[in-house]
Amino acid sequence: MADNGTKHPPGSAGIPLLGDKSYDFYKDPPSFFEKNAKHYKSRVFLTRFLLKPTVFVGSSQGLIDIFADKDNCNELGYKTFLGQIFGENILFTDGKPAEQLREALFQLFTDDCIKTYQQTVDRIVDKAIQSLDTSKPLCIYAFFKRLVTEICLTLFLGLDFDEMKDLSETISSLTTTHWHGIISMPLSVKVPGLGSQSTYSKALQAKIELLKVIEARRKEDKKGFHVKLEEIDELDDSTINNHLLLFTSALVPKAISSLLTSFIVETGKPDKISWQKACLLDEEFHEHLLLEVQRFYPPFFGGRREVIKDFVVDGYTIPAGQSIVYSTTAAHRDPLVFNNPDQFYPGRWNTSNKEELKKKLFCFGKDNRSCVGDRLVWVIINTILKKMMTKYEWSLVENQDINYKWLPVSKPKSGVICQLTERSS
Mean pLDDT check: name the lowest of 14-28, 39-53, 66-80, 339-353. 66-80
Q: What is the DSSP string of 65-102?
A: HHHH-TT--EEETTHHHHHHHH-SSGGG--HHHHHHHH
pLDDT at 18: 82
pLDDT digits (tens, 9 = 90+) for 201-223: 889 999 999 999 999 999 988 88
Task: Report the SS3 class of residue 411.
Answer: strand
CA distance 278 to 281: 5
Interacting residues of 11 by C-beta distance below 8 A, sequence separation 6+: 36, 40, 45, 46, 47
Question: What's the pTM value of the predicted model, to 2 decimals?
Answer: 0.92
Pick 415 or 255 by higher pLDDT.
255
The helix, strand and coil proportions of the chain, stated in percent and rounded to the nearest 5, come to 50, 15, 35
pLDDT at residue number 183: 66
What is the rounded distance in angstroms from the CA atom of residue 92 to the CA atom of residue 83? Answer: 7
Query: Across the chain, what does the average pLDDT equal?
Result: 90
Q: Note the pLDDT of residue 186.
A: 47
State phi, psi for 182 to the nearest 5 degrees. -65, -30
* pLDDT score of 135: 94
Residue 189 predicted with pLDDT over 80 = no
pLDDT in tens, 345-383: 999 999 989 999 999 999 988 877 788 889 999 999 999
Are the C-beta atoms of 89 and 243 separated by less than 8 Å? yes
Please count the other Cβ atoms lying within 10 Å of the Cβ belonging to residue 110: 12
CA distances 259 to 39, 91, 291, 373, 421, Å, are 31, 21, 10, 16, 22
DSSP single-letter state for residue 403:
P
pLDDT at position 191: 44
Contacts (Cβ under 8 Å, ≥6 apart) of 394: 140, 264, 267, 268, 273, 276, 388, 418, 419, 420, 421
Neighbours of 38 (CB within 10 A): 10
Rounded CA-CA distance 148/377 in Å is 10
For the beta carbon of residue 76, count every other beta carbon within 10 angstroms. Answer: 18
CB atoms within 10 A of CB 231: 10
CB 180 within 8 A of CB 199: yes
CA distance 10 to 47: 9
pLDDT of residue 2: 44
- State the amino acid at position 74 in one-letter form: N
Instruction: State mean pLDDT over 100-117.
Output: 89
What residues does 57 pair with on adjacent strands?
Answer: 44, 326
Torsion of CA 343, 348, 353, 355, to 10 degrees: 80
Mean of pLDDT values over 185-193? 46
d(CA 203, CA 200): 5
Smallest CA-to-CA distance from 32 within 302, 294, 297, 218 is with: 302
pLDDT confidence of residue 88: 83
Q: Which domains does the chain have, with CATH numbers?
A: 22-422 (1.10.630.10)
The three-class DSSP label of residue 138 is: strand
Instruction: Evaluate if residue 22 carries a pLDDT over 50.
Output: yes
The CA-to-CA distance between both ends of the chain, in Å, stands at 67
**SS3 track for 7-18:** ECCCECCCCCCC
Mean pLDDT, rounded, for 107-123: 93
